[in-house]
Structure 1
Amino acid sequence: MTTATLTLSHPEALIYTMVLASAVDSAVKDEELRTMGDVVRTLPVFATFDPENLPRAVESCMQLISSGEHGVEEAIAVIRDSLPPYLRETAYALALDVVAADGQALQEELRLLEMMRHRFDIDRLVAAGIERGARARWAHP
């Protein structure tokens, strides 16, 4: 299946968003994996998703992003096209949570977040509010 015809369920698209945020720096960290698992098990948007299917969704996303030089851009396009606008803000928030999970945001991660914000058509002020919420949730003492 080509990415032009790939359509994900809403939960799968949100999982792809988290995987992309985790993998963009070439190192999927344990903290990020734990965050993804916790999110899938607890947020209402994943109520119809069986957490046992998480490894399959992660692998599917990893295959997409490693499929060529434009894998990240293709994954973002698939996510955008699979989500209604109101869930694109949720996707952005989940990506921020995964990036923040290890306590540092690397340049590659920040660039990805910027790409997502633009491709998901998230207003800058809305994005700033989502970003501030993530900083508050992930603050270290």
Structure 2
Amino acid sequence: MMSDTISIQEALIYVMVITSASDASMTDAELATMGGVVKTLPVFTDYDPGNVLPAAQRCGERLQEPEGLSDVLALVADTLPVHLFDTAYALAVEVAAADLDVSKEELRILQLLRDRFNLDKLTVAAIERGAIARHRRG
């Protein structure tokens, strides 16, 4: 694994990227969601939105390495403070729900994140229910 460290914001971007890229296609809706999250959430207040694409590319490079996904998950978990684990999961759910079609690969990533972050069922259910409500069409 590449041993360099990443920022908290970059770790959150990695979570969104691995979720979006898991089904081998990053849709326009998913990319728009990532951009919107970075521009609006308080955790990204001092983060330059122009850094999203380079961060996503670095994540993609890491994913190409042997054991890439496990290494990215470990790096994210080591970088994020525990109080942001639910935030990271919420961002992954937002990206998965963005195109209104959650693939089995995205579901697998969400499962890996739940396990890695040791999130309780109530927290997970609340995050997922909130995303369903936000993305519902009239």
> TM-score normalised to the size of structure 1?
0.94
1:140 is matched with 137
Q: How far apart are 1:8 and its partner, in Å?
A: 1.6
Equivalent residue in structure 2 for 1:33, among 25, 31, 34: 31
Cα deviation digits, residues 88-129 of structure 1 (max 9, x gap): 110000000000000011101001100100001111211111
How is 1:10-21 mapped onto 2 (pairs within 5 angstroms)?
10-21=8-19
Secondary structure at the counterpart of residue 73 of structure 2: helix
Q: CA RMSD in A?
A: 1.0
In the alignment, structure 1 residue 48 sits paired with structure 2 residue 53: no
Deviation at 1:139, TM superposition (A): 1.1
1:119 counterpart residue number: 116
Amino acid at match of 1:130: I
Q: Structure 1 pair 121/72, CA: closer, same or farther in 2 (3 Å)?
A: same
1:13–1:82 Cα contact (<8 Å) kept: yes
Show the counterpart of 2:76.
79
Q: 1:102 aligns with which of 89, 99, 106?
A: 99
| Gap regions ≥5 residues in structure 1 | none
